[in-house]
Structure 1
């Protein structure tokens, strides 16, 4: 079990801010409080954060990036955006992978602590409270990219997944489709999965189109999830004319399975993607999709961290715009 400053604060009956000031020698407390907090920290086995103390005196010009250990293509654009801005401002980045669901995040934090990074960017990892506390104990600027939390004090940069999914579904409806499937969605993903599903459902409801649970196929945003979804639709003889995919990789899986099943895209089935990764325009046919500005997201995230480091300002949340990129995977259907 990781001991956090919150555990010490609870035991000492003081605020976490007071504990942080004592542990980092920042002042603003009496000697009795200092002795009490240090004694409790020792008894609980708290590991003093030497990195945070050193940052008061010296900057390493390093920014840590933590992301899941998955093969999703869009991460490259985010990292490229960060590296571009970092290099322009005399910083370097360190990349670490926190496992498929971010389960190794604490280990990544310890590694970055040892490297004495000045700031931190966390990509597409929904955080638990104990992880948030561990991040905050570093006492360095940080921001989340392409994710958020229920905790309003945590800064993030992302697209509104609900609105983007609503727009994608409406696009298909405007093209004459009423029997629209949803493929590849992770029901346990509070940040992106649920938001994209709810945006899809809301668009159907607003256009008085009945919702069917059979039209939704779960997955993990992957190519294989797309293939499995279309084979399931086919086996169940689902009468969908279009499918909204929660990632471009899912859409490519749908297109691949369609080729194997003799289903023509878009004549028999229209396919809408999400992300506008580099493979979207390489697909056959080229994929109509929702564009997330991943490189801009990386650039903004890195710039906000550098400004926070250099100007001692607070990192603020920012929502970025999405766009529909029209190609050739969606056809107009007349009823």
Structure 2
């Protein structure tokens, strides 16, 4: 059976969960049908008209891009905008487009867009530069059950997909307590003294985690297994742990000058149009990195105690302000910092695909997308 777009979409989402993307981001399937066949996967930074032409040259090509083709909301899908024109061309050619953007930036498998600079400089004691909490994609179900129905309810929600943590199933937490109620006319209470009478009954608070996509099935199973006429329950969104974050902060194996560090990054990525700001002879040791456009994280670099910040797309006044606060800057370019991560991303995707029996080769696009000369 041939690969399908849906197979590759699931692989990408399992490896780089959409829940780890920034709240403003747009990732996942942007053009195409999950049922379309996939003969090859073409990896690129940007989806341009030329990339779509390259993809269309081989039927059933899936384009896997870092930058979303459809990023800003479209009022209409017409050729009047660059993204609309490119999306229409992809759809006409049967080229599916999937994006992994900030969920790839924060990746912990060595394919994150800040990791190439970490490798080039040999940074040590590396951790995320930011540790923003994001929804994990899981929910916690909390309900209240009489003692004699506890196992029945737990079995039912577990069978529907709740209570699975890693290699363990039927995981739960329970606390003994007291529930109170007063039945109104027309009710049929499971326990108590009858309509209009205050009641206090022993109940267990039961907690289980579940994937967001199983919420409907789990709630249905809860309703069917629970003995109460009215089932009380809550669903809480969970957030990812603090180990997920954008950028990296670490220290050099030994102090070196700013000019020497900049030259190492220029050759190592490579980043032929690299520029730096600060005293070339200043000794630096603690390095912050954000691949792509990172001037919005200068404050994070300063708070982390960085001597120098390596990123791209630095603006004039932002750079001046950072220098006044004692932070040296290396602007290696948006394209250069992220393009260096693509070979690592392709290697991780190939490895994951082999483990799932997917056969479409993963290759890098030959189409240059950097606009600068």
* TM-score scaled by length of structure 2: 0.27
* TM-score scaled by length of structure 1: 0.30
RCO greater where, 1 or 2, for CA within 8 Å and sep 6 or more? 2
The structure whose residues are more often strand, as a share, is 2
Kindly name which structure, 1 or 2, has the bigger radius of gyration based on alpha carbons: 2
